[in-house]
Structures are given as C-alpha cells and as structure tokens.
Amino acid sequence: MVKKAVGLFLILFLLGGLSALAAEKVVKVGVVYEQTGNVATFGQSAVNATKMAAEEINAKGGIKGVGRIELVIEDNKSDAAESANAYNKLIFKDKVVGILGPVTSTNTLAAGPIAQQAGIPVITPTSTNPRVTQVGDYIFRACFIDPFQGRVMAVFAAKELKFKRVAVMPEVTSDYAMGLCQFFKENFEKLGGKVVAEEKFSTGDQDFSAQLTKIKATNPDAIYVGSYYNDVALISRQARQLGINVPLIGGDGFDSPKLFEIGKEAVVGHYFTNHYSPDDQDPVTQKFVKAYKAKYGQTPDALAALGYDAANLLFDAIRRAGKADPKAIRDALAKTKGFKGVSGSITFDENRNPVKAAVILQVQKDGSQKFVKKVQP
C-alpha cells in the first residue's frame, strides 16, 4: 500500500517535471556573422551584441508567450559561399525561425535567396548595398543604404571641406565597395567636383603602389576608398610612404579598431560616414554603450550597435507575432514603426530599408573617432 502510494507520487512528480519542461519553449534564431577572415572584427562585434540582446530578454524569461531565445551561431569566415552554407544548415537542419546576418553586402546577397525561397525572415544589421533587400520580401536591414551614404560624404567633401579633386579606389569583388564609389562619384560630380582618377584593386591585394603612383600624379584633395578597414589601413600607409599626404575618405567599412592598429598615424585625419557615434547623448544609446563596455571592456563600434538593433528588431517582431512562425514574424517585422534602436529610430520603407541619419566621423591622433556631424536623410 505504502509502496503503491510512493510509486504514484513518483509518477506524478515525473509528469509534473515533464510538463514544466514542455512549458519552457525555445525560439531558435540563426546568426551568421563574419567572425574570422578579412573582416573579422565586424562579426565579432555583432556576435557580442547579439548575445547581449538575447541574454537581456532571456533574463526576463524570454519573449513573452513565445519562449526563450536560443541562438544558433555560425561563422561564415567572411566568405560568400560559407554564408550560403550556413543559411542552408540553419534553415533545413536547425529549423530556425529567423536569421540575423551576415554583416556585409556581398555575403548577404549570396545567402539571401535561400531564406527568401524558404520563407525565413532575415535582418542584416549593416549590409548597405541597395540590392540586398531587393532579393525579396523576407529580407530586411537595420541600416541606411549606400546611395544615401555616398551622397552624405560627397556633400561634406564638396561643400564643407571644399574639395574639388578626388580620386576614387573601389575594391572590385565587393558589391558594397563598387556601389558606394559609384554613388559618391555621381553626387560629387553633380556638386561640381572632379573625380580625377579611378583606380581599382582586388580583395587580398597587398601592394597598392601602382594605383597610388597614378593617383599621386593627379594631385587630388582626397582619396575616396571603397573597402574595409584592412585595405584602408594598408592603402593609407603606402600613400604616406609615396608622399601623398591628403586624407582618405570613405564609408562605414572604415569602422574597426584595427584601422588604427594597422594604419597608425597614416589614418589620422581620415573622414568616414557611419551609422552611429558612441558619443551620441541619446539615453538609449548611452545605456547600451555603458552596458556593452561593462560586459566586453570595449567601446561598441557601429557593428555592435547595429547588431544589437537587428537582434532586438527580430525579438520585438517575434513578440508582436505572438508565435514562433516565420511568416507571422515577417509580417510583424514589415509593420515595425518607430522602433527605438541604439542607432536611431527604425521604420521600414516599402523596400524594407529604414530611413535613418548618418554620422561623419574623423580619426584622431589617439585612434578615437571624433563625431563631426549628423546628417538627416
């Protein structure tokens, strides 16, 4: 008799435990970032911020009514084919309900069609090429796009720095770089400026002396470089060695602590457009800067800020969808209005691009980035 009662009690206890486990639902979110390879600092910052965002939500018990967030994190090694492989794994094996990343345009363009076809919503924090979201209605981004970014620097260079002659250097394998240089050029010429040289280079190039020698002969006021921090740092050093002492100007690809680590005094004075400044006194921005610094011991760069915003945009859409269903999440995402991000307020236009301000930053002697101005769209 006693034995029977103990047995029954045990069974009830086990059942209770099982149902408690079932109640702890999990929402699987895929993350594909450039954590190794030639733009590794971009992905590392984005992963840090994504983890922070997920931990904050999970500390409150997860997404209300839907479940705890489980991140499935993949490294695409800064490579387009690896990005597509990671999407296939996340969608068909892990069965994630949404994907964050990659951070660069070429890699997002390579993977995007897989998610579009499978009906899995994607948010890229920082892929700025206009074609990225044209892949389809499941692809969103948390950043402005390059026609705007190119114009902002063209106006600043022509009107405020009074530059008349600028040389342009695009990296030819990058959709981002090719587009951005084109947008800069069109706008700079419209403002009466002259593009005095256009010297291309390719990913992995280490020696830029041929291009820089030609550029030097055209006597430019600045060189607009379309690429990421590694290339920019090397080009800067070699330009100085050749006696070219004008600043390099460019876009968000300049943003990495490595720019100064590699480029040192050769990158001081460079101007670039970016998504956010850690000096922005907005309370939402400052709260994030403080929390990120406390957790990682670093000032968050734009990749961290936008990685954080992209993650929270997705979590917010899952909450509003009320279920871990990719189509419902997509529809909720499309209706995002005035989402208060650390990089500004986010409302998507009909092409799933937020309309947001850009900032202009200048590299200082100590490697910090001075906030110069904010430009509204």
Which two three-digit tokens encode residue 61?
């018990």
Which two three-digit tokens encode residue 107?
């890699």
- 128 binding ligand PHE? (CB under 6 A): yes
- 302 binding ligand PHE? (CB under 6 A): yes
Q: Is 356 within 8 Å of 252 (Cβ atoms)?
A: no
**Contacting residues for 166 by C-beta, under 8 A, at least 6 apart:** 157, 188, 193, 194, 195, 196, 220, 221, 222, 223, 224, 249
Q: For the window 307-346, what string marks contact with ligand PHE as x by the rule CB under 6 A?
A: ----------------------------------------
The site for ligand PHE, by CB under 6 A, has a size of: 14
The span from the CA of 141 to the CA of 351, in Å, is 10
Residue length of the chain = 377
Least distance CB 177 / ligand PHE (angstroms) = 8
DSSP letters spanning 224-270? EEES-HHHHHHHHHHHHHTT--SPEEE-GGG-SHHHHHHHGGGGTT-
Of the candidate residues 127, 187, 285, 369, the single one contacting ligand PHE (CB under 6 A): 127
Of the candidate residues 48, 76, 129, 369, the single one contacting ligand PHE (CB under 6 A): 129
The helix or strand, by DSSP H or E, that contains position 310, with its residue range, turns out to be: helix 302-321
Of the candidate residues 76, 104, 187, 273, the single one contacting ligand PHE (CB under 6 A): 104
- 224 binding ligand PHE? (CB under 6 A): no
Which two three-digit tokens encode residue 302?
């734009």
The span from the CA of 107 to the CA of 127, in Å, is 9
Q: Interface with ligand PHE by CB under 6 A: which range of 126-134, 218-226, 320-328, 348-356?
A: 126-134
The span from the CA of 107 to the CA of 11, in Å, is 52
- 126 binding ligand PHE? (CB under 6 A): yes
- 105 binding ligand PHE? (CB under 6 A): yes
- 363 binding ligand PHE? (CB under 6 A): no
Q: For the window 149-178, what string marks contact with ligand PHE as x by the rule CB under 6 A?
A: ---------------------------x--
Of the candidate residues 69, 103, 289, 310, the single one contacting ligand PHE (CB under 6 A): 103
Of the candidate residues 42, 87, 144, 272, the single one contacting ligand PHE (CB under 6 A): 42
The span from the CA of 173 to the CA of 141, in Å, is 22
Nearest by Cα to 41 from 129, 103, 133, 130: 103
Q: Is 27 within 8 Å of 63 (Cβ atoms)?
A: yes
Q: Interface with ligand PHE by CB under 6 A: which range of 47-55, 57-65, 122-130, 353-361?
A: 122-130
- 236 binding ligand PHE? (CB under 6 A): no
Least distance CB 70 / ligand PHE (angstroms) = 26
Q: For the window 241-280, what string marks contact with ligand PHE as x by the rule CB under 6 A?
A: -----------xx-x-------------------------
- 45 binding ligand PHE? (CB under 6 A): no
Indicate the SS3 state at residue 366.
coil
- Neighbour-count burial of 241, counting CB atoms closer than 10 A to its CB (0-12 exposed, 13-18 middle, 19+ buried): exposed
* Residues in a beta bridge with 172: none
Least distance CB 159 / ligand PHE (angstroms) = 24
The span from the CA of 316 to the CA of 90, in Å, is 21
Question: Given the rule CB under 6 A, which residues bind ligand PHE?
Answer: 42, 103-105, 126-129, 176, 252-253, 255, 302-303
